[in-house]
Amino acid sequence: MKVEWPTLLLIVACYGVWMLGVFWLPLVWLPLAIVVTMLAVALQSSLQHEVIHGHPFAGRSRGAALVYASLNLCIPYGRFRDTHLSHHLDSTLTDPYDDPESNYLDPAVWGRLAGPVRWLLKVNNTLLGRILLGPAIGQVRFVADDLRQVRAGNRPVLLSWLGHGVTVVAILWLVAISPMPVWGYLLAAYGALSILKIRTFLEHQAHEKARGRTVIIEDRGPLAFLFLNNNLHVVHHMHPRTPWYRLPQLYFANRERYLARNEGYRYRSYGEIFRRYLLSAKDPVPHPLWPRDG
């Protein structure tokens, strides 16, 4: 059986850091424990993404057993898997209906929204708003859509949430018997989702050509590690079965090819993104090219 050892060892290390943050560091200094736990939770979400794409084992089922329990408490692994694989159909990227990870709305839907809701979504389109409000807004939209599917009789969605509920109870039980207060863990989980919103903030843009919709962020710092190099996003979309630790070499050895591929949609670093978009919206909420011809 083929094993990608860097990924498997990182999964083990991630859980070790999580246990450190929940069971030992609260006895030393609670703020440090919350930060460390937050980073471990964010990293586990990135590792779930790796497993969805067939790492560290050839098939998804063995890997899924390692990351099925979502430490972030919010997103069932099965729903993350199914919606993310749908997202990888590049021809529908940013589609308000067919891309489950799109942040754009149909302009007709936008026109029917109440003023306060529009304001909230506009704030959410700044990086600071996405960090502070994005996890809550995204969760409300995600749960509302899944509830509609459950009411329509979608059994796999219901089963995903039921399985997720069992793991959430188990995680919160562990937290309850640990020195980490439950409120501290909930804060860490929310903070982890906020970190992940930095990655998804502009990884896709509205563009007439499907190949021009996916970003490259040439960052090699701590955020790139937490995101497992998914900031080199067009490389991941072109080679979804390539493991995280090979993406930088693949990109920088063929940099001009990938930048030609995505029409030059590139940023130098996350620092550049913070400077440009912390308080400014990069995109409008209504899809600027919607409806698309054809």
Residues shown for the chain:
294
Q: Is residue 287 part of a domain?
A: no
Q: What does the pLDDT read at residue 151?
A: 98
Instruction: State the Cα–Cα distance between residues 199 and 174, nearest whole angstrom.
Output: 29
* Average pLDDT value for residue range 118-141: 98
| 90: confidence class by pLDDT, cuts 50, 70, 90 | confident
Q: What does the DSSP 8-state code read for residue 123? A: H
* Average pLDDT value for residue range 163-168: 98
* Average pLDDT value for residue range 31-44: 98
Q: Are 241 and 139 in contact (CB under 8 A)?
A: no
Q: Name residues whose C-beta falls within 8 Å of residue 62's C-beta, 6 or more positions apart in sequence.
A: none
User: Buried b vs exposed e over 57-66: b needs ≥16 C-beta within 10 Å?
Assistant: beeeeebbeb
Is the model's pLDDT at 2 over the cut of 60? Answer: yes
Q: Is residue 45 part of a domain?
A: yes
Q: How many domains is the chain partitioned into structurally?
A: 1
Instruction: State the Cα–Cα distance between residues 282 and 218, nearest whole angstrom.
Output: 18
Q: Is residue 291 part of a domain?
A: no
| 89: confidence class by pLDDT, cuts 50, 70, 90 | confident
CA 137 to chain centre: 14
Q: Is residue 31 part of a domain?
A: yes
Instruction: State the Cα–Cα distance between residues 28 and 215, nearest whole angstrom.
Output: 41
- Rounded to two decimals, the pTM is 0.96
Is the model's pLDDT at 51 over the cut of 70? Answer: yes
Q: Is residue 252 part of a domain?
A: yes
| 61: confidence class by pLDDT, cuts 50, 70, 90 | confident
Q: Is residue 292 part of a domain?
A: no
Instruction: State the Cα–Cα distance between residues 2 and 34, nearest whole angstrom.
Output: 36
Is the model's pLDDT at 62 over the cut of 90? Answer: no
Q: Is residue 289 part of a domain?
A: no
Q: Give the domain range for residue 266.
A: 5-277
Q: Is residue 47 part of a domain?
A: yes
Instruction: State the Cα–Cα distance between residues 135 and 139, nearest whole angstrom.
Output: 6
Please give the mean pLDDT across all residues of the chain. 96
Residue 31: asked if its preceding bond is cis (omega within 30°), the reply is no
Q: What are phi and psi of 144, to 5 degrees?
A: -60, -40
Show the tokens assigned to 140: 């409300």
* Average pLDDT value for residue range 108-120: 97
Q: What does the pLDDT read at residue 292?
A: 67
